[in-house]
Amino acid sequence: MAKRLSVLGSTGSIGVNTLQVVEMLGDEIDIRYLSANKNGDLLIKQARTYRPKAVAVVDPATARSVDKALAGEGISVLTGREGLLELASRTDVDLLLNGLVGSAGMEPTLLAVKAGIDVALSNKESLVMAGELIVRAQDETGASLMPVDSEHSAIWQCLAGEKKEDVRRIILTGSGGPFRTRKAETFSEITVTEALRHPNWNMGKKITIDSATMMNKGLEVIEAHWLFQLTPDRIDIVVHPQSIIHSAVEFKDGSVKAQMGVPDMKIPIQYALTYPRHVESEWERLDLIELGRLTFEAPDRERFPAIGLAYEALRKGGSAPAVLNVANEQAVYRFINNEILFTDIPKIIQAAGEQHEWIEHPELEDLIQLEDWTKAFVKLYN
Ligand code: MG
């Protein structure tokens, strides 16, 4: 029987890749629900191709035009944030893929897990902000998280058949982004165009800037902590500019398992959809001989202070990672709008972390309030 799938953020980078995987897998996947924010034209096209039961459109004006276009086609249109949240909690699916960007993805993940639905998780911000709540909900309902983030998919694959207590540490690899070799003195002159030019991965804007500051790797450390239940001292970062080894696990006996592949998000997406199988695909193959060599180096925590900020927030725990996450995304949007410098991003995150009222075990309402506080804080920062 086909796996019934809901795709949140279907018109974004992860969503579009997911639908390519679905297309390739043929009858194995049945698209039940799709969601988008403002890209109505693409959503309408996707809806006509995959015939979901319903779509959710967050932006009200876009929702009206989608509703009009799909009238009489038997596809219902849910509107606004409420529509998205309603769609996320529907239980007539086997798997929900969360490809939303940023903190907007947190509540949908939590609702799906609470409803007992397995989540293929691309939205790492969900775990960064609400890791404790999501894990608690998983304990209650038994829902699983299938990592889509390439590093976490790699670790998940390396851990297959292994015992958790045999793991010494995990090694998250990162490309180092576009400024890996750029001189520290020129970081304040970095332009938006330069920061959006990622050497290996073709991704959405927010995550591309996160890769340039290396906050992406910091967020992934926190994501790994919740996914694999490891303390921060057991999670390391290694810069690997070719992005071929997607991450590795070191075991207690000194054995290290790494997972490799070409940098293409369709591969980890497919694994999350077909887990525990690796089924035939048509994606580009890895050619080690053509590659010739792989290189590794330590991350530079001085030029990339975001890494240290993320570890610090994880060690502090409670509400600290949530504030780090929201401050980061708001600062990134201000940078994209040319309102602040590239080097202001970590400064803003640090200031927000220091000034917020820390909560040890934040509930959902606390997180929503903290999100509002942090957004206001970043807006006023000069
Ligand atoms: Mg990643």
The H or E element that residue 347 is part of is helix 344-355
Answer yes or no: do 163 and 302 share one domain.
Answer: yes
Ligand 1 centroid, distance to 219 Cα (angstroms): 9
User: What confidence tier does 243 reach under pLDDT thresholds 50, 70, 90?
Assistant: very high
What DSSP letter does each residue of 314-329 carry, written as one string?
A: HHH-TTHHHHHHHHHH
Number of domains in the chain: 2
Confidence at residue 192, expressed as pLDDT on a 0 to 100 scale: 96
Ligand 1 centroid, distance to 78 Cα (angstroms): 31
Answer yes or no: do 180 and 294 share one domain.
Answer: yes
Confidence at residue 198, expressed as pLDDT on a 0 to 100 scale: 83
What DSSP letter does each residue of 276-288 carry, written as one string?
A: T------SPPP-H
3 state SS of 112: helix
Ligand 1 centroid, distance to 205 Cα (angstroms): 14
Domain of residue 248 covers: 152-263+287-316
Ligand 1 centroid, distance to 258 Cα (angstroms): 15
Answer yes or no: do 92 and 65 share one domain.
Answer: yes
The answer for residues whose C-beta is within 8 angstroms of residue 362's C-beta and 6 or more apart is 132, 133, 318, 319, 322, 370
Answer yes or no: do 173 and 129 share one domain.
Answer: no
d(CA 262, CA 260): 7
Can you read off the two tokens belonging to residue 234? Answer: 């057991």
- Asked whether residue 204 carries a pLDDT value surpassing 90, the answer given is no
Answer yes or no: do 128 and 182 share one domain.
Answer: no
User: What confidence tier does 70 reach under pLDDT thresholds 50, 70, 90?
Assistant: very high
Peptide bond into 276 cis (omega under 30): yes
* Residue 159 domain flag: yes
Confidence at residue 200, expressed as pLDDT on a 0 to 100 scale: 80
- Asked whether residue 23 carries a pLDDT value surpassing 80, the answer given is yes
Ligand 1 centroid, distance to 154 Cα (angstroms): 10
* Residue 26 domain flag: yes
d(CA 146, CA 16): 18
Strand partners, 146: 120
Answer yes or no: do 172 and 68 share one domain.
Answer: no
Ligand 1 centroid, distance to 67 Cα (angstroms): 35
